[in-house]
Amino acid sequence: MILLELAWRFALVSAMAFGGATAVIPEMHRFLVEQHHWIDDTTFAALFAISQASPGPNVLFVALFGWQVAGMAGAVVSTLAMCGPSSVLALAFEHYTGAHRDARWMTIIRRALAPVTIGLLMATGATLAQGADHSVATLALTIATVAVALRTSFNPLWLIAAGAVIGVLGYA
């Protein structure tokens, strides 16, 4: 049953999503593209790009992945599964530690998690680039994006729009 598989996989990913939803994209790629062949490499990157052109939380690419696999039901199930376990955890954390939270421990945990998260984000970038960059031009566009976005503070949406224009003009 595809919906159960989606629910189970995304629920697991939710509980492991240290550093946010974007950090666990390689794992989604692993089961959606490599294991089950539900989505191909390029569509995976395309759905992610589309989600970045939409308002709302980043995590919504999960809705598009679910929708691609199993239609509307897939979108609903995947989104709920991706947000459910982590939300319950956040709720429990707030409920049980709200009154006595030790800032030192939180600092240690954040410092320990940060490098792992950064490694995962880089892996996400590599996974997406693999689906997106099939020519020298697109590879150059990815590299240029890194360079421009590091030096400026444009809203990412403008850079996505610039990418779309460059693509329409036939340069990508």
Partner 1 sequence: MVPHDSQAGAPGDARRSQRLAPAELFRAFAEMSIYGFGGVMPWARRMLVDRRRWVDDREFAELLSIGQMLPGPNICNIAVIVGYRYCGWRGSVAAATGLMLPPFFIVLALGALYHRFGALPSVQGALRGMMAVAAGLVLMTGVKLAQSQPRTKRGLVFGLLSLTAVGVLRLPLGWVMLALIPAALIVEWRARP
Within positions 76 to 95, which residues make up the interface with partner 1, using CB under 8 A? Answer: 79, 82-83, 85-87, 89-91, 93-95
Give CA–CA dist 128/50, Å, rounded: 13
When asked if residue 40 is in the footprint of partner 1 (CB under 8 A), the reply is no
Q: Which of 2, 12, 36, 73 is in the footprint of partner 1 by CB under 8 A?
A: 12
Least distance from partner 1 to the Cβ atom of residue 106, Å: 6
Contact 172, 141 (CB under 8 A): yes
Per rule CB under 8 A, is residue 128 in the interface with partner 1?
Answer: yes
In contact, 47 and 29? CB cutoff 8 Å: no
Using rule CB under 8 A, residue 8 touches partner 1: no
Of 68, 76, 56, the C-alpha closest to 28 is: 68
Which of 6, 7, 10, 14 touches partner 1 (CB under 8 A)? 14
Taking the C-alpha atoms of residue 142 and residue 136, their distance in angstroms, rounded to an integer, is 10
Binding to partner 1 in span 134-153, by CB under 8 A: 138-139, 141-146, 149-150
Q: Which of 3, 15, 32, 37 binds partner 1 (CB under 8 A)?
A: 15
Restricted to residues 47-76, the positions that interact with partner 1 (CB under 8 A) are 47-61, 63-64, 67-68, 72, 75
Residues whose CB falls within 8 Å of the CB of residue 32, separated by 6 or more in sequence, listed in order: 38, 39, 44, 65, 69
